Chain A
Amino acid sequence: MATLIIIFISAAITHNFVLTYFLGICPFIGVSKRLEQALGMGLATTFVMTLAACTTWVVYHFVLLKFGLPFLQYVAFILIIASLVQIVEMFIRKTSPVLYRALGIYLPLITTNCAILGLALFMVMREYTFLEAFIFGLGAGCGFTLALLIMAGIREQLEYSNIPKALQGAGMTLIIAGLLALAFMGFGGIVSD
């Protein structure tokens, strides 16, 4: 149990995918303008991450390892992630057209979100069990959502502030991302890998 909690906290906070590993920066910058959008994106990504962690674990252990093909992990994982994203996309389109339109291009882009491939590869590298992989995916997704929400909150406030012209838009966003990453580095010592 303790291992699972540690894995969760480590994936969500101390080794946050976005702010510590710098994975998945594209949606982090792209969809962090509004809180609702960020939440939607965060939840979609969490869902994909959790599912991807479980599915890749199953495929890795029962297909790739069994036939002695671990070298195919990249191809197999990308295939799995792409299919999952497709399903999530269909699901969101069916259930919430508003969210579907708000997420726009970033929804299919979850496919190429390196955080998810990174997740699958980390999972294999650290030799997690199925349950651990599930918790790892959930934690990573929660961490991603957390980072996205913090960023969106800050950026919403930022609209009211007077930013020098040269730093408006992407410039300011990247500086904030850097500061956030610094803040998250502070968690570093709490849990060891």
Chain B
Amino acid sequence: MDNTIVISTLSMAGLGLFFATLLAFANQKLKVEEDPFIEKILHELPGINCGACGFTSCRQYAEALAKKEAASDKCKASQEEQRADLARLLGVSLKTKVKEAAVVHCGADNSIRKTKALYTGVETCLAAHNTFGGELLCDYGCLGYGDCVQACPFGGITIVKGLPKIDRDKCTACAKCVVACPRKIISIMKVEDTQVLYVACSSQDKGALTRKTCSVGCIACGICEKLTGSAFSVKNNLSSVNEERMSGIKNKEEVLKKCPTKCILKI
């Protein structure tokens, strides 16, 4: 019996050693010369493979950069210091980054939410959304199970009172949460300006219905549109802000105050 153990150990070790040698030899023979520049570029990228640049991984982006096939300002996740290093490495001038962040277009937290049924299924937004829209009465609003929290590679989202709260310092606008949200209520906005307004509602129901469903829903009254000279526009029973014209809105406080359901919020 003891003998079997010894023999099997030895023979497996021998086999392992044999193949390891073979592999080591093959590695020497079949080594692919890679541009060391790629490694250097990769070092200056965050390495979290968020995909915001349009490539599937940081490595692929680095390869494209090395071949000068991609613009050097695509990475949204890297910090200023890293961006400067990368620009220096590539020998291009640094373009200033407009700070962007994810914004949640729903303002109904747990205290406001109305329910239509009891949902006891799997506790993810996607599952709830696919099960007749979960327990939330509104077909458009945030379900609050936090699929976006799971998706965020930076830990920048927390659920506060049933609504995702986005930490704008941590958010790099990689848009993973935008994709993860089954109700598509998260979007990426430019948040450089401290006075950025956005519509915290995604309901495309008619105004009368929205009023019944939610107390902070957009009822498409069009007051914001009139006040700002069409910097806001109402489409499909939902108001949205034109980001290009944000700085042109002079009466931001008035817009905030006049919105009847207070669904326009300031970042």
Contact = CB atoms under 8 A, between A and B. Distances in A.
B8 interface: yes
Contact of A67 (B8, B19, B22): B8
Interface stretch (A69-77, A126-134, A142-150): A69-77
A90 B12 contact: no
B122 interface: no
Interface residues of B, number: 17
A93 B32 contact: yes
B15 A63 contact: yes
A33 B20 CA distance: 35
A168 interface: no
Given A87-B22, A93-B32, A94-B32, A79 B16 contact: yes
Interface string B14-38: 1110011011001100111000000
Interface in A40-63: 59, 63
13 contacts: A63-B14, A63-B15, A67-B7, A68-B4, A72-B8, A72-B11, A75-B12, A79-B12, A83-B19, A83-B20, A87-B22, A90-B26, A94-B32
Nearest to A76: B15
Contacts of B14: 63
Q: Which of B15, B16, B20 has the most CB of A within 10 A?
A: B15
Contact of B19 (A68, A75, A80, A93): A80
Interface in A74-116: 75-76, 79-80, 83, 86-87, 90-91, 93-94, 97
Given A91-B30, A93-B32, A94-B32, A79 B8 contact: no
B27 A90 contact: yes
Contacts of B11: 63-64, 67, 69, 72
Interface string A171-183: 0000000000000
Contact of A87 (B12, B15, B26, B32): B26
Nearest to B20: A83
A interface, size bucket: 10 to 19
Interface of B, secondary structure class, is helix
Interface of A, secondary structure class, is helix
Contacts of B27: 90
Interface of A: 59, 63-64, 67-69, 72, 75-76, 79-80, 83, 86-87, 90-91, 93-94, 97
B138 to A, nearest CB: 25
A151 B208 CA distance: 53
B4 A87 contact: no
Contacts of A68: 4, 7
A72 B12 contact: yes
A149 to B, nearest CB: 27
A98 to B, nearest CB: 13
Contact of A79 (B4, B7, B19): B19
A104 B175 CA distance: 24
A122 to B, nearest CB: 21
B16 A87 contact: no
The 10 closest A-B pairs by CB, nearest first: A83-B19, A90-B30, A94-B30, A87-B26, A67-B7, A69-B8, A93-B32, A67-B11, A90-B26, A86-B23
A108 B16 CA distance: 19
Contacts of B19: 79-80, 83
Nearest to A80: B19
